Amino acid sequence: CVAITAVVLSRTNFGRRCYAVGGNPLASKLVGINTNKHIICVYVLCSFICGIGGIVLASFNMSVSQVTASGYEGTVLTAMVIGGINVFGGEGGISGAIFGTLFVGVINNMLILLSVPPDYQKFVQGIIIIAAIAANMQVYRRSMKLMTPKAKRRGRAAPVTEQE
């Protein structure tokens, strides 16, 4: 699933449209992308992949219950934010998702090996999420600051110079 998703997102029009609709739905609609149809298609594909993940989890646990995967939301959110995927859409990639997943897996495994109680494990995940979102916002602010003209950043108008 990871390889297929990486190829689809990086090499097809569908993947480029996914990033466009996630980044700015209004601009995508103005360009001519049917955003409602595209969003529904993405949700269907995500549901299909989640179904595959559910089958794998059920086979791993050798049992099925409606609460089998409850509590994984925080883990997934942590992996997503650490991997550089924007919570609001339009940014990120498969390599970042893989990195975030591996990082969170190592941290969770480390906490288990250190015999940290489960309540504190969730606390550590929350701290990691807050730190990752703060770092993400800092990078976003810096990138937006670099897009503004230098004189405007200093709070004064750009000097008028004659160039010959």
Contacts of 20 (CB under 8 A, 6+ apart): 27, 28, 31, 33, 90
pLDDT at 164: 46
pLDDT at 163: 56
Nearest to 78 by CA among 94, 109, 102, 62: 102
Task: List the alpha helices (DSSP H) in 24-93.
Answer: 25-31, 35-61, 73-82
pLDDT in tens, the chain (164 residues): 889 988 998 899 999 998 889 888 898 999 999 999 999 999 999 999 989 988 998 998 888 888 888 878 878 888 888 888 877 777 788 888 899 999 999 998 999 999 989 888 888 888 888 888 888 778 777 776 766 666 555 555 555 555 54
pLDDT at 157: 53
**How far is residue 162 CA from its own chain's centroid?**
47
pLDDT at 145: 72
- Cα separation, 97 vs 82, whole angstroms: 8
The three-state secondary structure class of 85 is: coil
CB atoms within 10 A of CB 27: 12
* Contact present, 74 and 123 (Cβ < 8 Å): no
Q: What is the DSSP letter of 12?
A: S
